[in-house]
């Protein structure tokens, strides 16, 4: 095969005239912080996922932090989460003064295993923070049943799950739980930096809204509008987590064409599945049994015993020889030095997550990939396999 000259990045934002026009309109409006576009984005997103309330924030991490803050965790409290996630999921537990406890994942899907969750529950456990990993929903029926049985809250990390549905067909976000979404630059719906917290609980929403703007009793952007007033009260020590109108303008444009972008993601995933179906020892991460896959990630599992090369060798060959970017999602959180030194976690604590980590690689998957790009990635992976087989 002919090696391409231009490097194919792992991810690239997808935008068009609507995003550019929306940003320009936001800049011209004078609302450069939270303003009317943020309110419109919140309403549109809530309607799309079926939630009663949505709060636009500057990151999913802010949403997760606030989501935990609503339950007033105390030192010594424990929150159970998955090790197979980005560190932010566990970091926010630490920032709330609690202790993260890692429950291992299902060895096939990589999703947090409800049976493992139950084994980790102690009298100190206050909640569960499942992650809808790689765009696939967790077994929320089982997790919610555990929460009811043991009196726990559930906060869902949906950073990968814009467009994901639960097993019952509802969109992730249309649930009894509080849910945090990410609109980071690599996500299915991207604004650069941004997130959303959804809930059907009015009291939790009102407190989250207040905490997101310094603990003030009035919405900040209304203070400077014709209908606003200079007067406000700080009723608790809050934070500065609000989204800006230019970011919301991007979000509104992206939301309008989410269906089109998702269909493209699905087409690319299907092309990959077909191209790799006959390669021994190279298998895609299963789509997942609990709802619609949003295809945030396309992940291959590389079994060296069957294919003759390691995950790291595949990454190196794709990058150095074929000029294709990849990523790994993720090194299990309990293996990072901070968690090992602070909480005494160690290799072997979550063997299923560790085994998956050793084999996984994420391939480029984004709507602006051309047919030539997709074909090239397929040919490059097959060329690496053929090279080692020879």
Token pair for residue 340? 């090992």
Measured CA to CA, the distance from residue 172 to residue 286 in angstroms comes to: 19
Q: β-strands 78-81, 99-102: how paired?
A: parallel
**Phi then psi for 272, rounded to 5 degrees?**
-60, -45
Strands 153-158 and 195-199: unpaired
Strand 178-182 and strand 53-57: pairing?
A: unpaired
How many CB atoms sit inside 10 A of residue 33's CB?
13
Cβ-contact 66, 57 below 8 angstroms: yes
Q: Who's near 331: CB < 8 A, 6+ residues apart? A: 357
CA distances from 143 to 130, 152, 156, 177, 294 (A): 8, 10, 11, 11, 21
∠ Cα 65 71 74 (to 5°): 90
Among this protein's residues, is 149 annotated catalytic? Answer: no
Rounded Cα gap, residues 343 and 35, in angstroms: 42
**Burial of 16 per CB tally in 10 Å (0-12, 13-18, 19+):** exposed
Task: Give the closest residue to 250 by CA, choosing from 9, 10, 17, 12.
Answer: 17
Which of 37, 187, 222, 240 is the catalytic position? 187
Q: Which pair of structure tokens corresponds to residue 71? A: 């339950």
Q: What angle do CA 204, 205, 211 make, to 5 degrees?
A: 90
Q: Catalytic site residues? A: 187
């Amino acid at each position: 095969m002919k090696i391409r000259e231009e490097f194919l990045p792992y991810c690239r934002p997808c935008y068009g005239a609507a995003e550019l026009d929306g940003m320009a309109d936001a800049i011209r409006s004078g609302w450069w912080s939270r303003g009317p576009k943020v309110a419109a984005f919140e309403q549109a997103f809530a309607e799309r996922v079926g939630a009663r309330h949505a709060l636009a924030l500057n990151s999913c991490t802010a949403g997760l932090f606030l989501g935990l803050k609503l339950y007033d965790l105390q030192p010594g409290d424990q929150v159970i989460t998955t090790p197979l996630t980005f560190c932010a999921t566990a970091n926010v537990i630490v920032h709330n003064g609690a202790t993260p406890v890692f429950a291992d994942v299902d060895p096939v899907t990589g999703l947090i295993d409800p049976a493992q969750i139950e084994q980790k529950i102690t009298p100190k456990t206050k909640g569960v923070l499942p992650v809808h990993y790689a765009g696939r929903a967790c077994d929320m029926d089982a997790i919610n049943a555990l929460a009811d049985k043991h009196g726990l809250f559930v906060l869902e990390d949906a950073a990968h799950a814009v467009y994901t549905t639960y097993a019952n067909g509802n969109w992730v976000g249309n649930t009894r739980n509080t849910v945090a979404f990410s609109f980071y630059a690599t996500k299915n719906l991207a604004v650069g930096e941004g997130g959303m917290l959804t809930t059907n609980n009015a009291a939790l929403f009102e407190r989250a809204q207040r905490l997101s703007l310094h603990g003030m009793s009035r919405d900040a952007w209304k203070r400077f509008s014709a209908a606003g007033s200079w007067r406000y009260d700080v009723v608790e020590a809050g934070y500065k987590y609000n989204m800006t109108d230019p970011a919301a303008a991007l979000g509104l444009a992206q939301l309008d064409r989410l269906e089109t972008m998702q269909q493209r993601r699905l087409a690319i995933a299907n092309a990959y599945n077909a191209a790799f179906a006959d390669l021994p020892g190279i298998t895609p991460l299963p789509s997942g049994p609990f709802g619609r896959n949003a295809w945030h990630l396309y992940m291959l599992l590389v079994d060296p015993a069957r294919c003759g090369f390691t995950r790291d060798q595949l990454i190196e060959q794709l990058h150095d020889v074929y000029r294709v970017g990849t990523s790994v999602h993720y090194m299990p959180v309990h293996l990072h030095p901070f968690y090992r030194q602070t909480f005494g976690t160690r290799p072997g604590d979550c063997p299923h997550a560790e085994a998956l980590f050793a084999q996984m690689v994420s391939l480029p998957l984004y709507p602006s990939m051309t047919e030539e790009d997709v074909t090239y990635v397929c040919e490059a992976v097959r060329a690496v396999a053929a090279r080692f087989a020879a």
